Amino acid sequence: MDEDHILIKEFNDGNIESFNKLIKKYLNSTYNFFLKITGEIMGSEDLTNDVFFILFKKLNKFRYEPKFSTYFYRIKLNKANSWITRDKWKKLLHLDQIKDPLISKVRIEKEYVKIELRRQINKLSKKQR
């Protein structure tokens, strides 16, 4: 059994210090993982805390078959995917803020004037047209 599996076994047997050792071992890599994704210090800290909280709750279900690093990476990846689908949209521009090079206000106004002009001309008698 590798070192991580031993720490997990000890934690599941009630030794909280073993969990602290896992945190110390994986804290920096987890924080950097989220920092690359979010680009935010506070967001990365929050996601890192969330991942270790999830790990704390679910570590009793660890089956010791996969490497712990693979299991832990999957938790981080799931959390990152949740963040992207839930929070990243907030950084996107609203559709009304995007400038479309093909449609400008001037062009729309010109089209509106043409349509309105035709409508008014059609109201005139044939002789006045």
For position 97, what pLDDT does the model report?
A: 54
At 73-126, the pLDDT tens digits run 999 999 998 888 876 666 555 555 555 555 556 666 777 777 787 788 888 887
Class of CATH domain 3-91: mainly alpha
pTM, two decimals, is 0.65
pLDDT in tens, 26-57: 999 999 999 998 888 998 999 999 999 999 99
Would you list the domain boundaries of the chain? 3-91
CB of 8 closer than 8 Å to CB of 21 = no
